[in-house]
Amino acid sequence: MADDDIRCSFCTKHRNITKKLIAGHGVYICDECIDLCDSILHPERREEKELCLTFPTLKEAYDHYEEARQAYVMMLRLHKGVDIKED
Ligand SMILES: [Zn+2]
């Protein structure tokens, strides 16, 4: 993939139209997908986020990304029988 064609691996939005795009090992996730995964994993946080307009720190964003990535891997294993090698 060329540097100018980097997209979110989940929703395929181009990096030019995302606020943040976080890189993993061969994958990318945008801020909106992180928010979506976070709201699925922690529905109680949705109300907190609606009340709080501050941006997460890089560490918080990475932690959310990591949780979402682990949830995605678990979902693949459970529903598709795909064996994903963890680092
Ligand atoms: Zn996305």
pLDDT at position 1 is 58
45: pLDDT strictly greater than 70: yes
pLDDT band at 59 (very low <50, low <70, confident <90, very high): confident
How far, in Å, is the centroid of ligand 1 from the Cα of 22?
10
Quick one: how many helices (H) and strands (E) in the chain? Answer: 3, 2
What distance in angstroms lies between residue 60's CA and the mean position of ligand 1's atoms? 17
- The pLDDT, as a whole number, for residue 51 is 66
* Domain edges within the chain: 3-51, 55-87
Interval 25-30 mean pLDDT: 94
CB 18 within 8 A of CB 37: no
Residue 22 and residue 25: Cα distance in Å, rounded? Answer: 10
pLDDT at residue 31 is higher than 90: yes
